[in-house]
Amino acid sequence: MRYRIVDNIWDELKLYTGEGNYLLISDENIYSLYKGNIEELLKGKDNIYLIKPGEKNKNLGEIGKIYDQLIAKDIDRDGLILSLGGGMVGDMAGFAASTYKRGINYVQVPTSLLAQVDSGIGGKTGIDHGGLKNVVGAFHFPLETLIDIRFIKTLQERDIRSGLGEVIKYGIIEDYDFFNYLKENIEKILKKDKDILTFIIKRSVEIKSLIVEEDKLDMDLRQKLNFGHTIGHSIESFFNYEKYYHGEAVILGMLIETYIAYRKGLIDYKYYDEIRETLIDLVEAYDFSEGEVNTLLQIMKNDKKNRDGKIAFILPTDRGEVEIFFDVEETLIKEAIFHFNKE
Ligand SMILES: NC(=O)c1ccc[n+]([C@@H]2O[C@H](COP(=O)([O-])OP(=O)(O)OC[C@H]3O[C@@H](n4cnc5c(N)ncnc54)[C@H](O)[C@@H]3O)[C@@H](O)[C@H]2O)c1
């Protein structure tokens, strides 16, 4: 698995666009923000496909249009897909690359914080279908992932908060010093301090790629990356992927799952409170009724990680450490969700 932090993405990409046997996939937002650079890269050719932004477009219909473009541009088995965008573009471009002509190469250029620290690393590609998120997909590792931190300059603050959720997750699951660093620097990160962003993106990519390297196909160790995701996914799905961004839902999931860990006696109050303080202001609170919490539980019961009908939770067990548990009582799950209801 290769990734590089680069100083000037447009120079790097020129190395890939010389032959013409490529399709650049991006979204309309990225195109309008970086039109000059993109047009210069394309050198008058139309080897580009733009997806409409938004999770609702991460579907088979759009993949069909990408295949049409690949065929129309005569991209052969030695051809290349260049993915330029956030996690949505990356997941779709990667999925198209994994299936077109039984698989062609692709290069990931993640442009959002979430994509740079998470979705652009790890080879998971996919699309949503039938109301289910990422239900169709494949493992397909890019030739390389090229990270240019300057993309963060144009990102909205809400997208930074969302990406920051996954960054803080790395501190909690693997590196307590990193967690402390993030806790101290949240305001500067939100103000896009370049040196701090560079450090946190590098450290996040290092942590994720080491974990993925050990368990490429998500059989074991990689599960720890799902901290916050059991409950996070259920909240995202409950709101039909409209109310919360992915990283925001993960932040809520981490809050609730940390409370569960504290109530199970896995961590002390001090550590629980440190995590709570760090995360609580990053995301808007919810207000679930009893019936809605039962619906969330039903969604959790369909989680891919479950075993023998038991819901899987990755829970903190110490500073910088997590483990998987299958024995969390439903009453405790409900208590934990209600604990964070808006007052
Ligand atoms: N494959 C994986 O391992 C993995 C992991 C986590 C999340 N995901 C997927 O990633 C997606 C979420 O990713 P995301 O948060 O990047 O969402 P996104 O791709 O929808 O991007 C969010 C918004 O930011 C805009 N944007 C992206 N880069 C920008 C930039 N530099 N400047 C200005 N605007 C920019 C996009 O146009 C979009 O409007 C979801 O589909 C999720 O399922 C995949």
pLDDT tens for the chain, residues 1 to 343: 689 999 999 999 999 998 889 999 999 999 999 999 999 999 999 999 999 999 889 999 999 999 999 999 999 999 999 999 999 999 999 999 999 999 999 999 999 999 999 999 999 999 999 878 889 999 999 999 999 999 999 999 999 999 999 999 999 999 999 999 999 999 999 999 999 999 999 999 999 999 999 888 888 888 999 999 999 999 999 999 899 999 999 999 999 999 999 999 999 999 999 999 999 999 999 999 999 999 999 999 987 778 888 999 999 999 999 999 999 999 999 999 999 999 6
The Å distance, Cα 162 to ligand 1 centre, comes to 10
Residue whose CA is at the smallest distance from ligand 1 atom 38: 53
Nearest to 249 by CA among 263, 264, 262, 234: 234
SS3 string, 197-220, reads HHHHHHHHHHHHHHHHHHCCCCCC
Give the DSSP H/E element, type plus range, for residue 136: strand 132-139
Ligand 1, residues at Cβ distance < 6 Å: 27, 29-30, 33, 53, 55, 58, 85-89, 91, 111-112, 114-115, 118-119, 122, 124, 134, 151, 154-155, 159, 162, 245-246
In single-letter form, the type of residue at position 71 comes to: I
Domains of the chain and any CATH numbers = 3-154 (3.40.50.1970), 157-339 (1.20.1090.10)
User: Is 106 within 8 Å of 190 (Cβ atoms)?
Assistant: no
- Measured CA to CA, the distance from residue 95 to residue 169 in angstroms comes to 26
Give the DSSP H/E element, type plus range, for residue 317: strand 313-318
The Å distance, Cα 120 to ligand 1 centre, comes to 10
Residue 311 is given by DSSP the state P
